[in-house]
Amino acid sequence: MTPIDIERVYDALATALDSLTDDKRDLFLAKIALLLAHELGDADRICDLIAQAACVGPE
């Protein structure tokens, strides 16, 4: 993806999150993660990305 594509995705995600109430955001994030994982279709890669996203600081 190009930087412009990444910005488009970020904007779409931010807009969707802003349109939701606090109690719906976690459900939305879980659903979008599962839909994107299904599109990727590689469980090992998905698990690696989950671990990467869960990392909150340098190791």
pLDDT at residue 34, as a whole number: 96
Q: Pick from 59, 57, 33, 55: which is nearest to 46 by CA?
A: 33
Q: What whole-number distance in Å separates Cα of residue 43 and Cα of residue 52? A: 14
Task: Say whether pLDDT at 23 is over 90.
Answer: yes
Q: What whole-number distance in Å separates Cα of residue 59 and Cα of residue 44? A: 22
Task: Say whether pLDDT at 59 is over 60.
Answer: no
Any idea what DSSP says for residue 9? H
Q: What percent of the chain has pLDDT over 70?
A: 93
pLDDT band per the 50, 70, 90 thresholds, residue 22: very high
Residues 46/37, Cβ–Cβ less than 8 Å: yes
User: Mean of the pLDDT values across residues 35-47?
Assistant: 96
Q: Give the pTM.
A: 0.77
pLDDT band per the 50, 70, 90 thresholds, residue 58: low
